[in-house]
Structure 1
Amino acid sequence: MEILLWLVPSVVVTAVAMLWVSWVSRDGRGEVDRDVAAQRLGRALAKDLPAGTRRTPPQARDRSTGIAVRPSHGAGPGEGSHGGATRRAS
């Protein structure tokens, strides 16, 4: 238990910091009227975007099925799996 005494200063500092932050950020400081906030938001949304900024929808992702499909190379008529020569494993 004695070995944990080195934690006491950090716990005290943390508790004091939490109390100070809760006191500083309490309600009533810098409160903005709801009507003023709504007007500011309306003005910000009504502004045109700067030149060079585009609104584009996000690109649709190509959904992978997890299966790799290889294209058939040189499989002409009579070759490959559609008839003709039969391939056997050796």
Structure 2
Amino acid sequence: MEILLWLVPTAVVTAVAMLWVAWLGRDGRGEVDRDAAVEKLAAAMQRDHTARHRPRPTAPVDRSTGIAVRPSRSRGPA
């Protein structure tokens, strides 16, 4: 049993850390005005959201044959 005494400080630190995090995450901290949040959401939904950049082209589909083969590279005019 004595060999397990080295775990006591670790268990105490873990318990204190869990209590501290639970206290920080409790309800009521940093409340947001519900009406202001609804107005902000409505304004964001009314805005026109256009893409800032063109979408990336889709990658070609690699058909697997079950055999490990290096992809062939087409050579230009020789």
TM-score with structure 2 length normalisation?
A: 0.58
State the percentage of identical aligned residues. Answer: 51
Cα distance in 1 for residues equivalent to 2:16 and 2:61? 52
Residue number in structure 2 paired with 1:27: 27
Question: Comparing both chains, which one has the higher relative contact order based on Cα–Cα distances under 8 Å and sequence gaps of 6 or more?
Answer: 1
Report whether the alignment pairs 1:61 with 2:65.
Answer: no
Cα distance in 2 for residues equivalent to 1:70 and 1:22? 58
Provide the alpha-carbon RMSD of the alignment. 3.2
* Matched residue count: 68
Cα distance in 2 for residues equivalent to 1:47 and 1:9? 57
Q: What's the CA shift for 1:25?
A: 1.7
Q: Which runs of 4+ in 1 moved over 6 A?
A: none
TM-score with structure 1 length normalisation?
A: 0.52
